[in-house]
Structure 1
Amino acid sequence: MGTVRVAMCQTVCLDGDRKGNLARAERAVAEAAAGKAEIVCLPEMAIYGWVNPDAHERAHPIPGADSDRLCELAARYGVFLCAGLAEKDGKHLHDSAVLIGSQGQMLAKHRKINILAGLMTPPYTPGRDITIAETKFGRVGLLICADTHSADILASMMELRPAFVIVPYGYAAVEDAWPEHGKALEEVVVTAAKTIGAPVVGTNLIGQITHGPWTGRTYAGHSVAADKTGRIVATAKDFDPDTLVVDLPLD
């Protein structure tokens, strides 16, 4: 059995603060690279914030300015990089995740399928496909947050037999529900790992939702990595930014 060295980088995301969020992402990537991480994982919608309707006007296509900046980071620090970001495609806005190689090349893009349409107006446009990237580590699956709540999506990922799966999260609840709500995130990641039969790395945000019916709900970290049996390998801090480097066991 081998391992892959993965960093869960739960960063502070302030809705709409593109420059600040990118600066915090770069600092986390640098910390992860210093810890000899091979793959660096950032959260869902790490540049503009989740269910932030401003992204309809500010987001870029993929490839485009936002993804190009992430590709530059991956190449500069010599790491594979997974990040959640807003993707503009014509009139459509997708909640997407990218996997970038260590030379800055785009390897895969996943568009979130289970979009929770009632939380933003107009809503994200859902994706349709389960995403796998062929890498030197094996087949890497990409899902995003609420995708892992769908038994059908998990079953479809299982059929693709990934070596492991990376999931950017924007997992939120009312402030007083934390840190106990971290156990709910653990259960979701554990269930996903056991269902898919592969390790799952879930990296959550730090911050608050500032738009829509969930305004005021808090992202409080507690990022989780689990092996293929559902055993929790590591959990990151509650409420605080964290760059946690984990040796993830693979078959």
Structure 2
Amino acid sequence: MKLALYQGPPIGGDIEAGISRLGAQLEAAAAAGARMLVAPELFLPGYNQPELHGALSQPRGGDWSVRLSGLARAAGCGLCVGWAERDGDLVYNAATCWDADGTELGHYRKIQLFGPMEKASFAPGSDYCLFELEGLRAAMLICYDVEFAAHVKALAERGAELILVPTANPVGFEHVSRVFVPARAAEVGVTIAYVNFCGTDAGLSFGGESLIAGPDARPLASAGTAETLLIAEVGTPIAPGLRSTQLQDFREV
């Protein structure tokens, strides 16, 4: 399956501009043969926009969901994107995945909230989400979640082969995409698609460096710090000898 990652600048709360940009990127991804496009964390309404997280948050199945599902269906390419979800009095840092027909495949709420802003804006999620995607067992995490080896291991134990990770990783934390993500992928033999913002959002600068790390830790595709549409084939088997055997070989002392 061809997978696309959209690394772009934040929308700064301009919902219409954001939806329009996602539509254009979906069309470009579909033209290149991609079956799924992954966009960053809290793409709607914006990551470093705490005053908007509550004010503009939407319920699952609301206007944003309907429009994003329609974009995927119109382009013939699935979409995974981060957004602020309202459920009653609570707001979640969430991500939803729709297939190329616009059908919802999975919905996930970030478990590991990062820093004071996120903890003030959002309630933490409590459940994993796994689903079938073009013949692969897929799952979602959001940003800080993937830095915890236990979460990646838990998904692999549940059969995940591909983990989609919308993120909003600031400048100064490039070690996450350079070291942590490839390590997490290799430790349990999964492919991880980690997609970041570039540019700035209300004074917060993002580091870019989105990548798709294969189960042998090698990058299938990687970006620099500018706006980029990455496309790579995922799910291709690798030689068994290149897979880590840490989990089988581990000895407790």
- TM-score calculated relative to the size of structure 1: 0.88
**2:62 is the alignment partner of 1:64:** yes
Flag structure 1 segments of 5+ consecutive residues without an equivalent: 211-215
Q: Are positions 1:247 and 2:230 aligned together?
A: no
Q: How far apart are 1:172 and its partner, in Å? A: 0.7
Rounded to whole Å, the distance in 2 between the matches of 1:89 and 1:56 is: 11
State the 1:217 CA deviation.
2.7
Residue range with higher mean Cα deviation, 38-47 or 118-127 = 118-127
- Pairwise CA distance, 1:117: 4.6
Counterpart position of 1:236:
223
Q: Does 1:225 align with 2:237?
A: no
Counterpart of 2:244 in structure 1 is: none
Find the aligned partners of 1:83 and 1:120 in 2 and give their Cα distance: 17
Aligned 8 A contact 1:112 1:147 in 2: yes
Q: Which has the larger radius of gyration?
A: 2
Q: Residue 47 of structure 2 contacts residue 201 of structure 2 at CA under 8 Å; is this kept in 1?
A: yes
Q: What CA distance in whole angstroms lies between the structure 2 residues aligned with 1:91 and 1:122?
A: 13
> 2:186·2:216 contact (CA, 8 Å) conserved in 1?
yes
Provide the rounded CA distance (Å) in 1 between the counterparts of 2:209 and 2:141. 18
- Amino acid of the residue matched to residue 67 of structure 2? R
Corresponding residue of 1:90: 88
AA aligned opposite 2:19 = L
Corresponding position of 1:6: 3
Q: How many residues align?
A: 236
Instruction: Tell me, in whole angstroms, the C-alpha distance in 2 between the residues paired with 1:92 and 1:207.
Output: 29
Counterpart of 2:37 in structure 1 is 40
CA RMSD in angstroms, aligned pairs only:
1.6
Specify the SS of the correspondent of 2:120. coil
CA contact (8 A) 1:12 1:24 kept: no
Letter in 1 for 2:47: W
Deviation at 1:63, TM superposition (A): 1.1
Native 8 Å contact 2:147 2:181 kept in 1: no
Aligned 8 A contact 2:40 2:196 in 1 = yes
Corresponding residue for 1:160?
Answer: 158
Q: For the residues of structure 1 that align with 2:2 and 2:84, how far apart are their CA atoms?
A: 27
Residues 1:144 and 1:120: Cα distance change in structure 2 (over 3 Å): closer
Q: Does residue 202 of structure 1 match 2:194? A: yes
Shift of 1:89: 0.7
Name the SS for the 1:87 alignment partner. strand
Paired residue type of 1:188: F
* Kept after mapping to 2: 8 A contact 1:157/1:196: no
Give per-residue Cα distances to partners, 1:88-130, cap 9 Å, x unaligned: 1111111111110111111100100001151247331110111
Match of 2:185 in 1: 193
| Aligned residues of 1:11 and 1:28 also touching (Cα < 8 A) | no
> In 2 relative to 1, CA 232–121 (structure 1 residues): closer, same or farther, beyond 3 Å?
closer
| Alpha-carbon distance in 1 for matches of 2:13, 2:106 | 25
Q: Deviations over 1:212-248 (max 9, x none)?
A: xxxx33113211111111111111231x211111112
TM-score (ref. length: structure 2) = 0.87
Letter in 2 for 1:245: I
Find the counterpart in structure 2 of residue 213 from structure 1.
none
